[in-house]
Amino acid sequence: MCGIVGYIGNNDAKEILLRGLEKLEYRGYDSAGIAVISENGVQLFKEKGRIASLREVVDPNVECTCGIGHTRWATHGPPSKTNAHPHQSSSARFTLVHNGVIENYESLKREYLQGVQLVSETDTEIIVHLVELFMKEELSVEAAFRKTLSLLKGSYATALLDNEDSDRIYVGKNKSPLLVGLGDGVNVVASDALAMLQVTDRFVELMDEEIVIVTRDSVTIKTLDGIVIHREPYIAELDASDIEKGTYPHYMLKEIDEQPLVVRNIISKYQDDNGNVVLEEDIREAMKAADRIYIIAAGTSYHAGLVGKQLIEKLANKPVETHIASEFLYNMPLVSENPLFIFISQSGETADSRGVLVNVKKKGYKALTITNVPGSTLSREADYTLHTFAGPEIAVASTKAYTAQMAILALLAVDTAKNSGIEFDFDPIQELSIVATAMETLCDQKEAFEKIAREYLTVTRNCFFIGRSADYYVCLEGALKLKEISYIQAEGFAGGELKHGTIALIEEGTPVIALATHEHVNLSIRGNVKEVAARGAYPCIISMEGLHEESDRFVIPAVHEYLTPLVSVIPLQLIAYYAALHRGCDVDKPRNLAKSVTVE
Ligand code: M6R
């Protein structure tokens, strides 16, 4: 979702900002802009569409060493050049970018900005007008900025330029992520460290309701009341090469192929010299002490949570509920006496999950975050974090983060069982190694999935995925992958549920992809396939070695029954990838979607 960059140093600000915005493209956006301070004052460049289009309108001759930039994912007002950020105050003295949603912008407009002509339809624009308004009260720019931010309700990460001062960027944050990066005679601002690794790997985290005054040589963090705060920087452990595509045509394909490596990485990070799973002692204790686990997540991470529920219940004999983050607060169950909340989030920034976390912490419950980004908001605000070590995931469609989340949940389940004295016959390290090898075998057979995609999905308008037990959860994920990148109407169903309504949708030629990787449901799911085939469907069975039949379209190498989702999802990821490719879709940046969903 929207991304922010800022630069103040001695080099060409416009090029650094544009490169920074390119690194944020993966988050999803529909327009972009930069503002730089030149000899002639602030120069503004905005464009609807891709950064490549913005590049074309940026004047290459502008000399500048300070500026801010933004990628916008429309919330208030459609994508357009006018609604793109940065926005300016009426006199054009102030220029501002913003990520988040200002919930009370209508009432602030009514109360303070009656006579002001607003140019855009955004909630953002009022912020920059308020700063200008409060300057009339003879406040300093900093004080006017703090006063403005203290009136805002909602979420913001924001950066402000003053046309009369080319030596300062003012930054503010509440609920939306924002970092300040430290260099030598240069400092930067970014929604995400990836954007500014080109300048530095030393970053300072900002907390909610803080502002920062950024100059070339200093970074001063303050509360909205003006109290100075000292905070140590950290080194972002990211390798710039991790975010390059290399020889791959798309990030999604690269990330699918990285899954065996990610699983092996997880094995090595969570294993001691004796081959035992090692988790932090306080996580072990929290799991042991909990009488019920509540998993909260969105999208693909929610699907990993469904598998996690099965794993923890089967192995550790502990009751688990998995909930969609955006629904949890409306449909909050009666929480047990001693719950533990587990938040699963690739980005660690999902606003829906964070909304639940804030609520849960207010009630004094303990929270654990499973995330790919340890310094993220959900990681910082929870009591404990388990890192998925999947490396940056750039494609909007989540792939390696999902398998990593399930691998971590398996280790957590095993460790909890062990710690509670429960006997089981499952060596997670050995079984995950088998999974990694099976994943490799699947990734080496891409032609088979390309063929399935071409045959089944090139012209269809819909597709169903059916499975039972854990296969059903993977079907939900397979359907999400297909719809988000190929725009084919796709749904995942529990095989047994079809005849209760959905089977009415089956027509001559409707593609139905069925997973059959579990012995106890093998016959029943095959029965469901027969039912849809009898009504004209075009079925494609993907089964597991040992359970397969001759007519199956693809047979996955056998892995332990607890871990089948980690491998059975790979054919579905690849089928979705090739379907999108055949239909000419933008695989890595699907329409309307954002990688990091930072608004509720
Ligand atoms: O960063 P998170 O894991 O919290 O994100 C949750 C969802 O937005 C995300 O999984 C989304 O569904 C993906 N685009 C699916 O591929």
The Å distance, Cα 302 to ligand 1 centre, comes to 8
Cβ neighbours around 74 below 10 Å, total: 18
Residues 465 and 491: beta-carbon distance below 8 Å: yes
Q: Could you tell which of 255, 398, 569 is best to mutate to test the pocket of ligand 1, judged by most ligand atoms within 8 Å of the CB?
A: 398
Query: CA–CA separation, 131 vs 96, rounded Å?
Result: 10
**Is the CB of 346 within 6 Å of ligand 1?**
yes
- pLDDT digit string (tens) for 98-137? 999 999 999 999 999 998 999 999 999 999 999 999 999 9
Q: In this predicted structure, what is the pLDDT of residue 278?
A: 93
Least confident of 21-30, 120-129, 161-170: 21-30
pLDDT at 1 over 90: no
For ligand 1, say whether the CB of 347 is within 6 Å of any of its atoms. yes
Predicted confidence band of residue 74 (pLDDT cuts 50, 70, 90)? confident
Locate the domains of the chain by residue range: 3-239, 250-440, 445-600
Closest atom of ligand 1 to CA, residue 371: 3
Distance, in Å, from the CA atom of 357 to the CA atom of 412, rounded to the nearest integer, reads: 20
Q: How confident is the model at residue 567 (pLDDT cuts 50, 70, 90)?
A: very high
Q: Which residue, judged by its Cα, is nearest atom 4 of ligand 1?
A: 345
Which of 73-77, 114-118, 262-266, 489-493 has the lowest average pLDDT? 73-77
Determine if ligand 1 sits within 6 Å of the CB of residue 484: yes
Q: What percent of the chain has pLDDT over 90?
A: 87
Fold (topology level) of 445-600: Rossmann fold (3.40.50)
pLDDT above 80 (res 563):
yes
Q: Is 345 a pocket residue for ligand 1 (Cβ < 6 Å)?
A: yes
Q: What is the pLDDT of residue 374?
A: 81
Minimum CA distance residue for ligand 1 atom 9? 299
Instruction: Quickly state the pLDDT bin for 175 (edges 50, 70, 90).
Output: confident
Contact 95, 42 (CB under 8 A): yes
Distance of CA 25 to the CA centre of its chain: 13
Greater model confidence, 595 or 335? 335
Q: Are 34 and 14 spatial neighbours (Cβ–Cβ below 8 Å)?
A: yes
Task: For the beta carbon of residue 531, count every other beta carbon within 10 angstroms.
Answer: 16
Given a cut of 90, whether residue 238 has pLDDT beyond it is no
Mean pLDDT of the chain: 95
Helices within 363-427 (DSSP H only): 377-381, 400-419
Cβ of 220: how many Cβ atoms within 10 Å? Answer: 13
Distance from residue 401's CA to the centre of ligand 1 (Å):
9
pLDDT at 425: 87
Lowest mean pLDDT among 79-93, 104-118, 241-255, 346-360: 241-255
Question: Is residue 315 scored above 70 in pLDDT?
Answer: yes
Q: Which atom of ligand 1 lies nearest, measured to the CA of 593?
A: 14
Cβ 256 under 6 angstroms from ligand 1: no
Mean pLDDT of 59-77: 94
- Provide mean pLDDT across the span 369-388: 93
Q: What is the DSSP string of 12-63?
A: -HHHHHHHHHHHHGGG--SEEEEEEEETTEEEEEEEES-HHHHHHHS-TT--
Distance of CA 149 to the CA centre of its chain: 26
- How many whole angstroms from 477 Cα to the centroid of ligand 1? 11
Q: What percent of the chain has pLDDT over 70?
A: 99
By annotation, the residues acting in catalysis are 2, 595
Options 2.40.50.140, 3.30.1360.40, 3.40.50.10490, 1.20.58.100; which CATH number does 250-440 get?
Answer: 3.40.50.10490
The domain defined by 3-239 carries CATH number 3.90.1150.110: no
Pocket test for ligand 1, best of 306, 326, 342, 346 (most atoms within 8 A of CB): 346
Give the H/E segment covering residue 544: strand 538-544
Give the whole-angstrom CA distance, residue 84 versus residue 92.
16
Closest residue by Cα to residue 407 from 526, 278, 255, 562? 562
How many Å is the maximal CA-CA distance in the chain?
Answer: 82
Instruction: Tell if the pTM clears 0.85, that is, is over it.
Output: no
3-class secondary-structure state, position 70: strand
Q: How many helices (H) and strands (E) does the chain have?
A: 19, 25
Residue 240, pLDDT > 70, answer no
**Nearest CA owner, ligand 1 atom 12:** 299
- What length does the chain have? 600
The pLDDT assigned to 330 comes to 85
For residue 29, name the pLDDT band (cuts at 50, 70, 90).
confident
H helix or E strand, kind and range, residue 515: strand 511-516
User: Do 3-239 and 250-440 come out as alike in CATH topology?
Assistant: no
CA of 258 to the centre of ligand 1 (A): 18
Looking at residue 247, what is its pLDDT?
87
pLDDT at 241 over 90: no
Question: Ligand 1 centroid vs 93 CA: distance in angstroms?
Answer: 39
pLDDT at 421: 94
Average pLDDT rounded to a whole number, residues 460-477? 97
Rounded CA-CA distance 397/477 in Å is 10
d(CA 375, ligand 1 centre) in Å: 18
Predicted pLDDT of residue 424:
87
What is the average pLDDT across 368-381?
Answer: 91
SS3 116: coil
Given this model, what pLDDT does residue 535 score? 94
Q: Does residue 396 line the site of ligand 1, with CB under 6 A? A: yes
